[in-house]
Amino acid sequence: MRYLLDTHIFLWWANGDKKLKVPIRELLAKSQNTIFVSTITAWEISIKLKAKPNFKLQKSLKRTFLLSKFGVMPVTFSHVLTLHQLPMYHKDPFDRMLIAQAKTEKLKLITSDSKIWKYNLSLLKA
């Protein structure tokens, strides 16, 4: 299976947070699954690290991404075109781009964000 991680799922994984349920953690560890993290996620984390003094990663942003061994999903023009077609159920621009990427690339988006569940896309509710 091919998956795209919502930012909070990636952060829970990176920080060993117990909010990430064991079945999701196991799914992320299985080598037969292809897991992607968007460059949008890196951008969102970078902004949070600068804007919120209490926001932390256990390792540096670069090291966190390198250690994950997850694939990196860059933003493409096709993703932007899909984004343009999305209804405005969700106002967060980072989440909207993740939705567009998942739809365009036919990836299952792993999220616990109930606002995202309103969209017509393949989801794994975490």
Please report the pLDDT score of residue 96 as a whole number: 98
What's the CA gap between 84 and 65, in Å, rounded?
28
What's the CA gap between 6 and 38, in Å, rounded?
8
Please report the pLDDT score of residue 36 as a whole number: 98
Please report the pLDDT score of residue 53 as a whole number: 83
DSSP at 30: -
Higher model confidence: residue 3 or residue 54?
A: 3
Q: Sketch out the chain's domains with CATH numbers.
A: 2-125 (3.40.50.1010)
Check whether 125 has a pLDDT greater than 90: yes
Q: What share of the chain is helix, strand, coil (3-state, %, to 5)?
A: 50, 15, 35
Higher model confidence: residue 57 or residue 119?
A: 119
Taking residues 108-120, report their average pLDDT.
96
pTM for the predicted model, two decimal places: 0.93
pLDDT tens-digit series, residues 30-52: 989 999 999 999 999 999 998 99
pLDDT tens-digit series, residues 61-112: 888 888 888 999 999 999 999 999 999 999 999 999 999 999 999 999 999 9
What's the CA gap between 40 and 65, in Å, rounded?
13
